[in-house]
A and B are shown apart, each in its own frame.
Chain A
């Protein structure tokens, strides 16, 4: 068991040189949760210096505009540090949220983890 004071909201795995991130929560809606998820995502770039990040949404059922805001900031951080962010495994209902807001054009979105990993090659 981890002795961390904060509950980890992300499961992070290294596949080759790509950092694959899974969300623990099915609903990324709650303001407080989103704050913590944002901090933990930003740490990957700011503190741990990760350059290639693949966010896997297979566990995610709901996503709010506040969560989209964190993803936009993460994308900027990754680009600024010379890295790259890719999203994958987004179910159709959540994909619609990206399409409505036209963020499907802003983010690199791939069907699944396999194709997502290839996007870094």
Chain B
């Protein structure tokens, strides 16, 4: 097990967006407690929403019996999180570029792009059902 997995706190939730909201509130409170910069809290909040919705909706297909596994560490200058679902996974390289002119009018496909923009690092496992994201806080 990696250092991250050894020291991470874990939350397991059913595939329910109300539960995801509760997790986000807990994590946001943690970020406030370590006095993470507002801009970084904004970035993390957005990326978390996208990753949790992906896990619940696309990964677990909203099946309430399927779980979402959240592991995270929070320090004064860094936040790291791994979100895993029980779905078959996907290849992030297969997601069409939503900024291509032919895709611009498509109503979906932008979540992954926002996650990559707002977090310092975003990596999927080989199955594509677990995403690990890192945010290094910007010093004022």
Contacts and interface: CB of A to CB of B under 8 A. Distances in A.
Contacts, number: 60
A36 B21 CA distance: 17
Which of B17, B56, B110 is most buried by chain A, counting CB atoms within 10 A of its CB? B110
B93 to A, nearest CB: 18
Contact of B105 (A29, A65, A70, A106): A106
Which of A66, A73, A103 is most buried by chain B, counting CB atoms within 10 A of its CB? A66
Contacts of B104: 102-103, 105-106
Nearest to A29: B49
A71 to B, nearest CB: 9
Interface of A: 29-32, 62, 64-66, 68-70, 72-73, 76, 93, 97, 100-103, 105-106
Nearest to B38: A93
B114 A31 contact: no
Contacts of B14: none
B61 interface: no
A97 B107 CA distance: 14
Which of A102, A105, A106 is most buried by chain B, counting CB atoms within 10 A of its CB? A102
B99 A102 contact: yes
Contacts of A30: 17, 21
A78 B110 CA distance: 22
Task: In the A-B complex, list the 5 residue pairs whose CB atoms are closest, starting with the nearest.
Answer: A69-B107, A65-B110, A102-B99, A65-B111, A31-B17
Contacts of A100: 113-114, 117
B110 A68 contact: yes
Which of B18, B45, B107 is most buried by chain A, counting CB atoms within 10 A of its CB? B107
B117 A70 contact: no
A69 to B, nearest CB: 3
23 contacts: A29-B46, A30-B21, A31-B57, A32-B18, A62-B42, A62-B46, A64-B50, A65-B50, A65-B108, A65-B110, A66-B111, A68-B110, A69-B107, A69-B108, A70-B107, A72-B107, A73-B107, A100-B113, A100-B117, A101-B98, A101-B110, A105-B104, A106-B105
Interface in B32-86: 39, 42, 45-46, 49-50, 53, 56-57
Contacts of A105: 104
Contacts of A103: 104
Contacts of A62: 42, 45-46, 49
